[in-house]
Chains A and B, each alone.
Chain A
Amino acid sequence: GENVEQHPSTLSVQEGDSAVIKCTYSDSASNYFPWYKQELGKRPQLIIDIRSNVGEKKDQRIAVTLNKTAKHFSLHITETQPEDSAVYFCAATMGGGKLIFGQGTELSVKP
């Protein structure tokens, strides 16, 4: 079926360390892969996205990599700060414009 798997479900790091979250998707035709951050009690908001014609994209401390052959994509956060603590979701578009999300990763950055 159409699904996105995300790991780990929880991640705890020390301030200043890097954090990596990984996702796999099922539909080989998927070509858009956004990442969302959701702070407690708030709506999810886009932090970065990547399209299938690109292997890597960076925005300051955040980067996303995509391996279309393996159907994997990952979020990398460097120099983590306490304000990075939140739930992060990966997603992929499937047939018909369906936008499917992973199960989420709760990131905790300890000062």
Chain B
Amino acid sequence: DAGITQSPRHKVTETGTPVTLRCHQTENHRYMYWYRQDPGHGLRLIHYSYGVKDTDKGEVSDGYSVSRSKTEDFLLTLESATSSQTSVYFCASTGGPNTEAFFGQGTRLTVV
């Protein structure tokens, strides 16, 4: 696997608290993505980045924000966690839009 890691791998948090998930890649990839995976919905794009400080919204961006201050790190923040944000979150990275994207191991987030 390409060098892409997520932290934490598991997290339980309370409704209303802020949560930040981290994605770190060592491939010098330009593009990075955050997805959530829920049964019956596949992988839905939350936000993506096409360069340092360059980000854009995906299909399900409400309630989420991102930041990318360095090539290797892409942070996803749930500003005020809700139970509907309980999910498995995957980040991915790729060197270009028409090349293979590599995924992190996933983060299982539970909001209680």
Q: What are the interface flags for A2-37 relative to B under an 8 Å C-beta threshold, 1 for contact and 0 otherwise?
A: 110010010000000000000000000001101000
A98 to B45, CA, bound (A): 8
Determine whether the beta carbon of B42 is less than 8 Å from that of A102.
yes
Q: Which residues of A contact B92 (CB under 8 A)?
A: 99
Determine whether the beta carbon of A43 is less than 8 Å from that of B97.
no
How many B residues have CB within 8 A of the partner chain?
A: 28
Q: Which residues of A contact B101 (CB under 8 A)?
A: 34, 46, 99
Interface residues of B in 42-67 (CB under 8 A from A): 42-45, 48, 50, 56, 58-59
**Min CB–CB distance A8 → chain B (angstroms):** 13
Query: Could you say which of B11-19, B20-28, B72-80, B102-110 contacts chain A?
Result: B102-110
A residues neighboring B (CB under 8 Å):
2-3, 6, 9, 31-32, 34, 43-46, 49, 51, 89, 93, 96-104
11 examples of A-B residue contacts, CB within 8 angstroms: A32-B97, A45-B103, A96-B56, A97-B50, A97-B97, A98-B45, A99-B31, A99-B45, A101-B43, A102-B42, A103-B40
